[in-house]
Amino acid sequence: SVNPDLASERQTASFCVEKLTALLDGGAEQTRIRRAVVEAIESDPVFSRENQYFQTQNERYEAAVMKAVHLQKKMHEMGWTENGPEYKYIYRALSGDVAFLLHRVFMRSISVLGSDKQIAKWIPLATQHKLIGSYAQTELGHGTYLQGLETTAVFDTATQEFILNTPKISAMKWWPGDMGRSATHTVVFAQLYIHGKCYGIHPFIVQIRSLQDHSLCPGITAGDIGPKMNFEHIDNGYLLLKNVRIPRENMLSKFCEVRPDGTYVRQGSQKINYFTMTTVRISLISDEVLTPLMKACTIAIRYSVVRRQSKLRPGEQEAKILDYQTQQEKLLSQLAAAYAFHFINDYLQELFNRGYREIQNKNFDMLPELHALSSGFKAVITQHCTAGVEICLRACGGHGYSLLSGLPSLYTKILASCIYEGENTILLLQTARFLIKCFMAASSGQPVPPSVTYLASVKHSKCPAKNKLDFLSPDIYTEAYQHVAVRLISNTAAKLQDLVQSGVKKHDAWNQCTVQLVQAAKAHCHYIAVKNFAETVEKLEAKAGIQKIMKHLCDLFALHGIFSNTGAFLHDGYTSAAQMDMATASYLDLLAVIRKDAVPLVDAFDFTDKSLNSALGSYDGQVYQRLYEWAQRAPTNQMSPAYERYLKPLLHNTLSKL
Amino acid sequence: SVNPDLASERQTASFCVEKLTALLDGGAEQTRIRRAVVEAIESDPVFSRENQYFQTQNERYEAAVMKAVHLQKKMHEMGWTENGPEYKYIYRALSGDVAFLLHRVFMRSISVLGSDKQIAKWIPLATQHKLIGSYAQTELGHGTYLQGLETTAVFDTATQEFILNTPKISAMKWWPGDMGRSATHTVVFAQLYIHGKCYGIHPFIVQIRSLQDHSLCPGITAGDIGPKMNFEHIDNGYLLLKNVRIPRENMLSKFCEVRPDGTYVRQGSQKINYFTMTTVRISLISDEVLTPLMKACTIAIRYSVVRRQSKLRPGEQEAKILDYQTQQEKLLSQLAAAYAFHFINDYLQELFNRGYREIQNKNFDMLPELHALSSGFKAVITQHCTAGVEICLRACGGHGYSLLSGLPSLYTKILASCIYEGENTILLLQTARFLIKCFMAASSGQPVPPSVTYLASVKHSKCPAKNKLDFLSPDIYTEAYQHVAVRLISNTAAKLQDLVQSGVKKHDAWNQCTVQLVQAAKAHCHYIAVKNFAETVEKLEAKAGIQKIMKHLCDLFALHGIFSNTGAFLHDGYTSAAQMDMATASYLDLLAVIRKDAVPLVDAFDFTDKSLNSALGSYDGQVYQRLYEWAQRAPTNQMSPAYERYLKPLLHNTLSKL
């Protein structure tokens, strides 16, 4: 039975939930396929996550390996293939709680970086799981800056082998997933040396464990890097190489080859590699970043209509906490962001598909723009969604802090997305570098990529809004965002130029502007996200109430950004104080409007109870019963030896006899 | 041997580190006493936290109980008493990793709420640990709003007993520390009923476990609430009462008594109770909030001078990451906040000591101000420090994400401080209510408490700064903060009044202003923190370089707040855009200045390696060696059964035979 406080929220939906779900999925047929996958996975007890919050790191790892192995059978049974329409839903259905994710990266790196011969040799072995692959790039002392990697691969012409070494402790490979305990092979990135000359970083296939008994190969030291904030199910590992010899054929050689005599030959264009990095950044947004925020919103919003606390008006029943303006402000702005980022993700996916087609035709013109967009949006979305999940957690008070709410795990996992695949600050600075270049080009009348043509256009110097309703006009707020982005980019470009002209060296000048460059890059992405949301809403069908509620969310997303960052809009007087007060009034009014549809809006994400794995967020809203039942199963409710050992002697008063 | 990259940072300190440590401790003698306690605790292997990051919740609980019992012996051995000068350092030395913290709350609640007879009976038993006490207030469905608690205590005149019941699941006690597995007694808060009439919430002493065999008493259901985001060492518990009878004498009766015939008598003033709540909020700031932020700063800043990444200038060695402006902006602003909040904590402690003396003289005039300050600062400091620890964690990249860095545990623990002892948003609204009242009073010329007299004073309507150096003048920035606080409070008061005058009911009007009321309360606290820091610096001796570096930190704290919240200062034109650019320039300039003293400034916090328990933050900066050694000891580096069970069949190719 559904908690009546939750049930009543569903009766007044202003739109058709099922239609919105289909929109999010990209069509009703996709919804059907996704639900079939979820059903097949969730009905299989091997994939259960029921006891996850009670398990140790070791138990989590075991379960993830078991699931990965079972998944192969399941796919076979169900007729699912890696190229089939079901594949993209499997990971979501498993909530990512499965091993061997790096095996796919191992395979992809061979496909992209390997010669045809290498692909022909290794891909079938990997596909049939005759080996387990990993990907060893990051070192203990080196992350984002790949040129700084210290692992060496010295070519020995006598034996036609590469000799791999970890010259010092900071060169140890550190973090690669699946490497701590599972992998038999890995792709190692190392500095290539031939006849004493360094040719830079290259990828090498190295076997690290025996295929017979899984013991470490000669010269290999490897293990698990220990406990982390999350990812208990993954055996992130370390790897030390001591005179490990591999045949010449194991250097991945699509782009560079070492001939038997030691001649180094570079062939083809490596540009496709950069494209791979950018697509990885975009591909993680959906599964690793948006899904957790959507789950957190679902949990926190359902809980907030079931939880009652204090009285809004004297004499009444205690109020649902979602009826408090402060709670609405916390949660509904996250909900709006989840939708905004869903739509920008669609936009980015489309752009990257187009980019991929161009690149296959040997046209690399789109690369700089794609790199800037993928870097900037990876950073902005991971940062925003991580903060959003934390807000959802805190908005649930004490119960949010229990692992049983599901929120702590969502938070500790999504937090990692701000760090991996490029640390966010570094990525934003890459976007900023592109923006400054484009701004300079646009200023001197040169052509620039489509997403930055706005840098050349000068519009109003004052916001034309006359009353608070004007701030519900997408033209008004989109232009305000655009104005801020242009101002921050142009001001920072000017500061850079001033510094250099006053004699500061170029690199020092850049460093002295980085705090502001980061702001500029964020403003650019924020503008594009707002613009894209507004354009998406424009194109929606008006029927079934979908367009109307999406318009509200778009307005809220835009106005929340203005309200949270008023200084950017007020700075040069583009927005006056009076206009800011209008925007604030519209923003706060919207909260009460969207609050009415809050539950239907999270229902549309269509998460099953099993996938939420939360005592607070289930569809029926039976929060307290579930917390109590669940707690009773905790390992901490088994008899503790602490009583006999410590408490009994204490209570029976040995201490007072001291 | 100290890592040379770290050693070099200490050679150029602009001030005497030992003198700053003494200042933070409140005198060199205090430093001596603290170090003696730390030395005694850390040299005792029973108190070791060496394996903490590898332990399960059960193991953490066991260890905490063991430590709590051992601590009693230790205190006896060392001659430490609860009233001695050493006592306040013990908890810090243990990093809070000890059981029975609620035993002290149990004792304090009896001391404050009990009659002399009750105190005479229970306090000696508790002091001698003949029982273990807990404190059961929060319920599954009820937190901050105490009037909503549902547990009942019905007086039975026939037997002279109270009959306690949990009428429904949401009334179950939930969260009390030490109750899940340890406590034998607890103070239960319940709605008192006599002859069918409800007299509201009262405290009752209830035995829950046998003193002989620790089994649950009749009518009691109790256990552990399961895994949480942190506090694995604490057995937060649940408690269900079913017709539990306790003698009439067990209702704590300093302020209210039930006579044998059922007559209810209220005696004395309960105001002291509110004072207790406010002092708890202040007392947690130092141990639970400032210490974690100071530890996080120590870890992140030491790591940031050891970690090298990318090149600042071409041709040079990779740069220390603390040399990047963005890293300085992240970390040094947290460092400045740690100092700012240390000094505001001193201010609050002093104020509360004065308040306590007044109250002992039956003068309760200070109570509203103390309540407003304790609520506001509890919220502002916990929020700021929690965000600060997260920033430190993320600023350490991947290594910050490892539990071995110590940062994840600091974060997951400090996060709880935003929720317990009053959820932050609710507390800020209490402060706001006080501010609005005072503003109305001040506006009509009535006297107001000292901390809010500024609400009546009108100063400049424009910031008088003429160049960027002016923003290093405490008068300039303190006045700017004051102006913002007055503006936000007065604007919100006006909005409230407008709403009510336009016919909105008072309670609804309040709710419609809460988002802005929260902002106003924060602005008030921020202003007082800045003013207090500036006044503290003013009073410091100029010698040994202390005053100079503290002045820099004060400036940074103030300018960081302006830079992060420019809209508040720009809104009504108090600060012009040109002035904001000056403030920003001063802010960014300061980063480079303070960066030179960053390591000495965290050294002054004087944390031992054992208390940091971090592979990244040790005094010698041997980061990589320690990460590697530590990881090898992880339980995940013991042989896993996953190979035999799952990997071997997979690799030996059962799958491909499917």
Report the share of chain B in percent with pLDDT over 70.
98
SS3 A257: strand
d(CA A23, CA A606): 12
- Cα Rg, chain A, nearest whole Å: 27
Task: Answer yes or no: is pLDDT of B96 > 90.
Answer: yes
Quote the CA–CA distance of A325 and A333 in Å, as a whole number: 12
Hey, is A68 helix, strand or coil? helix
Active site residues of B: 421
B52 vs chain A: nearest CA distance in angstroms? Answer: 11
ipTM attached to this prediction: 0.97
Tell me: pLDDT of A264 over 50.
Answer: yes
Q: Which residues have CB under 8 Å from B80's CB, separation 6+?
A: B37, B74, B86, B87, B90
pLDDT in tens, B377-413: 999 999 999 999 999 999 999 999 999 999 999 999 9
* Residue A421 bears catalytic tag: yes
Write the residue in B313, B314, B647 that is nearest to A214 by C-beta.
B647
Q: pLDDT > 90: what percent of chain A? A: 90
Question: How is residue B646 written in tokens?
Answer: 């799952």
Measured in whole angstroms, the distance separating CA A288 from the mean position of its chain's CA atoms is: 4
Tokens (6 digits) for B259: 């006579």
Distance, CA of B101 to CA of A233 (rounded, Å): 33
Residue B158 φ then ψ, to 5°: -60, -45
Angle at B273 between CA B271 and CA B276, to 5 degrees: 120
Residue B307 and residue B398: Cα distance in Å, rounded?
12
B505 contacts A69? CB cut-off 8 A: no
* Partners of residue B265 on adjacent β-strands: B257
Instruction: Select which of A150, A390, A421, A479 is catalytic.
Output: A421
* pLDDT of B168 strictly over 50: yes
Mean pLDDT is lowest, of B19-28, B248-257, B360-369, for B360-369
pLDDT digits (tens, 9 = 90+) for B100-127: 999 999 999 999 999 999 999 999 999 9
Q: Which of A403, A573, A635 has the CB atom closest to B58's CB atom?
A: A635
> Pick from A202, A39, A31: which is nearest to A114 by CA?
A202
Chain A residues inside the 8 Å CB shell of B636: 57-58, 61, 180-181, 224, 226-227, 235
Token pair, residue A459, equals 């519009």
Token couple for A1: 């039975």
pLDDT above 70 (res B653): no
> What pLDDT score does B642 carry?
82
- Ordered alpha helix ranges (H), A540-632: 546-563, 566-570, 577-595, 598-603, 609-612, 623-632
Residue carrying structure tokens 């029926």? A620
Residue A277 banded pLDDT, cuts 50, 70, 90: confident
Q: Is the pTM value of this prediction over 0.90? A: yes
Nearest in space to B405 (alpha carbons), one of B229, B613, B609, B602: B613
Task: Tell me which residue range forms the domain holding B211.
Answer: 103-267
Q: How many residues appear in chain B?
A: 658
Q: Cβ contact (<8 Å) for A325 and B515?
A: yes
Report the alpha-carbon distance of residue A98 to residue A68 in Å, rounded: 5
- pLDDT (mean) for B35-60: 96
Do A138 and B170 make contact, defined as CB atoms within 8 angstroms? Answer: no
Q: Model confidence over A345-398: pLDDT tens digits?
A: 999 999 999 998 998 898 999 999 999 999 999 999 999 999 999 999 999 999
Average pLDDT, chain A: 95
Yes or no, beta carbons of A634 and B224 under 8 Å apart = yes
Instruction: Note the pLDDT of residue A653.
Output: 65
Chain B residues with CB under 8 Å of A323 CB are 511
What gap in Å lies between CA A604 and CA A602, rounded to an integer? 5
Q: Do A223 and B128 touch (CB under 8 A)?
A: no
Does residue A148 lie in a domain region?
yes
Q: A228 CB contacts (<8 Å, ≥6 apart)? A: A236, B401, B402, B403, B408
> Chain A interface, mutation test: which of B628, B656, B657, most A Cβ atoms within 10 Å?
B628
Determine the 3-state secondary structure of A266 from DSSP: strand
End-to-end CA distance of chain A: 58
β-strand partners of B571: none
Give the per-residue pLDDT at A619: 98
User: Is B177 annotated in some ligand binding site?
Assistant: yes
Q: A147-205, pLDDT tens digit by residue? A: 999 999 999 999 999 999 999 999 999 999 999 999 999 999 999 999 999 999 999 99
Q: Which of A651, A654, A657, A658 best tests the B interface by mutation, with the highest count of B CBs <10 A? A: A651
CB contact under 8 A, B54 and A226: yes
Yes or no, beta carbons of A223 and B325 under 8 Å apart: no
For helices B116-127 and B101-113, give the axis angle rounded to 10 degrees.
160
In a domain, B198, yes or no: yes
Which range of A266-270, A280-284, B22-26 scores highest in mean pLDDT? It is B22-26
Using the predicted structure, report yes or no on whether residue B584 has a pLDDT greater than 60.
yes
Say if A372 falls within a structural domain.
no
CA-nearest of A647, A635, A642, A402 to B61 is: A642
CB contact under 8 A, B132 and A56: no
Say yes or no for a CB contact (<8 Å) between B412 and A408: yes
Asked whether residue B132 is domain-assigned, the answer is yes
The structure tokens 């006009």 sit at A473
Segment B289-318 shows an average pLDDT of 96
Residue among A409, A424, A632, A650 with most chain B CBs within 10 A, to mutate: A650
Calpha distance A563→A196 (Å, rounded): 59
Tokens of A487: 């101002």
The residue to which tokens 């239609």 are assigned? A19
| Separation CA B438–CA B457 (nearest Å) | 13
pLDDT band at B541 (very low <50, low <70, confident <90, very high): confident
Q: Which residues from chain B sit within 8 angstroms of residue A653, using beta carbons?
A: 128-130
Average pLDDT over residues B417-427: 95
Specify whether the CB–CB gap between A521 and A431 falls below 8 A: yes
Closest residue to B72, CB basis, from A62, A76, A655 = A655
Nearest residue of chain B to residue A383 (CA atoms): B394
Q: Is the pLDDT of residue B657 over 50?
A: no
Total of domains in chain A? 1
When scoring B185, B640, B654 by the number of chain A Cβ atoms within 10 A, the one with the most, hence best to mutate, is B640
* Number of inter-chain CB pairs under 8 A, A vs B: 375
Structure tokens at A209: 């464990």
Percentage above 90 pLDDT, chain B: 90
Cβ count within 10 A of residue A92 = 17
Q: Position A595: which residue type?
A: R
Question: In chain A, what residues touch B423 (CB-CB under 8 Å)?
Answer: 397
Distance CA B393, CA B424 (A): 22
Q: Are A227 and B404 in contact (CB < 8 Å)? A: yes
For residue A271, give the H/E element and its range: helix A271-284
3-class DSSP state for residue B169? helix
Distance (Å, rounded) from C-alpha B617 to C-alpha B615? 6
Residues 6+ positions from B354 with CB-CB distance below 8 Å: B366
Q: What is the mean pLDDT of residues B352-381?
A: 93
Task: Kindly determine whether residue B141 and residue A627, on different chains, have CB atoms separated by under 8 Å.
Answer: no
Cβ-based contacts of A633 with chain B (< 8 Å): 226
Closest CA of chain B from A540, distance in Å: 32
How far apart are alpha carbons B644 and B57 in whole angstroms? 28
Question: Which candidate from B223, B419, B507 shows the least CB-CB separation from A312?
Answer: B507
Backbone φ/ψ region at B135: left (φ over 0), alpha (ψ -120 to 50), beta? beta
DSSP string across B227-261: -BSS-TTS--EEEEESSEEEEGGGB--SSEEE-TT
Alpha helices in A288-324 (DSSP H): 291-306
Contact at 8 Å (CB) between B154 and B141?
A: no
Chain B CB contacts of A312 under 8 Å are: 507-508, 511
- Residue A526: exposed, middle, or buried by beta-carbon count in 10 A (0-12, 13-18, 19+)? buried
Q: Which residue of A has its CA nearest to B142?
A: A309
- Residues sharing a CB contact under 8 Å with residue B502, sequence separation 6 or more, in sequence order: none
Min Cα–Cα distance to chain A from B170, Å: 6
Is B415–A394 a contact, with Cβ atoms under 8 angstroms apart?
A: yes
Q: Rounded mean pLDDT of A111-118? A: 95
A313 to chain B, closest Cα gap in Å: 6
pLDDT at B429: 98
Q: How far apart are CA A625 and CA B169, in angstroms?
A: 7
Tell me the CB-side half-sphere exposure of residue A354, using CA atoms within 13 A: 10
Q: How far, rounded to the nearest angstrom, does the alpha carbon of residue A177 sit from its chain's CA centroid?
A: 16
Question: Distance between CA A202 and CA A189 in Å, rounded?
Answer: 5
Q: Contact B640/A329, CB-based, under 8 Å?
A: no
CATH number assigned to the domain comprising residue A179: 2.40.110.10
Q: Is B278 annotated as a binding residue?
A: no
Q: Are A225 and A238 spatial neighbours (Cβ–Cβ below 8 Å)?
A: yes
Residue A12, judged by CB atoms within 10 A of its CB (0-12, 13-18, 19+), counts as exposed
Residue A656 pLDDT greater than 50, yes or no: no
Q: Which of A318, A327, A397 sits opposite B148 (nearest CB)?
A: A318
B149 interaction partners in chain A (CB closer than 8 Å): none
Distance CA A484, CA A153 (A): 49
Chain B residue with CA closest to A416: the answer is: B401
CA–CA separation, B587 and B558 (whole Å): 9
Please name the residue of chain B whose CA is at the shortest distance from the CA of residue A641: B62
The Cα of B361 is separated from the nearest Cα of chain A by a number of Å equal to 34
Please tell me the predicted confidence (pLDDT) of residue B656: 43
Tokens of B453: 């007299």
Residue A234 located in a structural domain: yes
B114 part of a folded domain: yes
**In A317-423, which ranges are continuous DSSP H helix?**
325-360, 367-395, 397-401, 407-414
Instruction: Report, as an integer, the average pLDDT of A52-81.
Output: 95
